[in-house]
Amino acid sequence: QVLRMESEGGSVRPGGSLSLSCAASGVTYTTYCMGWFRQVEGKEREGVARIDSDGDTAYLDSVKGRFTISRDNAKNTLSLQMNNLEPEDSGVYFCAARATSYCSLRYSWWATDAVWGQGAQVTVSS
């Protein structure tokens, strides 16, 4: 089971947009809960958005209305569209998948059993 980050992240000015994508291989993730997380140095990783196998989504309050998580089950990919970025959105972003119908945004739930992709740095700065 492998999750491969297809995007390198990037640097943008406040108000800008970035898109992240993650490709899965080794197993069909259609029944998995999938999510995006970010981590700032010195802080615990936090859930940004998650999507379950039915397409139901949940977001961190601070990104609601600006970020959109989506999945393409046919291509086994996961995406995160980030608009109107703010400096507080900076961090290393990770994708993850967990083989369960239950789907949480809490990192503590993911930390126990999940497949993680490699991180991508996102920097929002003027």
Pairing of strands 18-25, 2-5: antiparallel
Do 49 and 80 form a contact (C-beta atoms < 8 A)? Answer: yes
Percent of the chain with pLDDT over 90: 76
In whole angstroms, give the CA distance from residue 45 to residue 17: 22
DSSP 8-state secondary structure symbol assigned to residue 67:
E
pLDDT for the residue 30: 79
pLDDT tens profile 15-71: 999 999 999 888 778 788 999 999 999 999 999 999 999 999 999 999 999 999 999
pLDDT for the residue 3: 85
pLDDT for the residue 10: 94
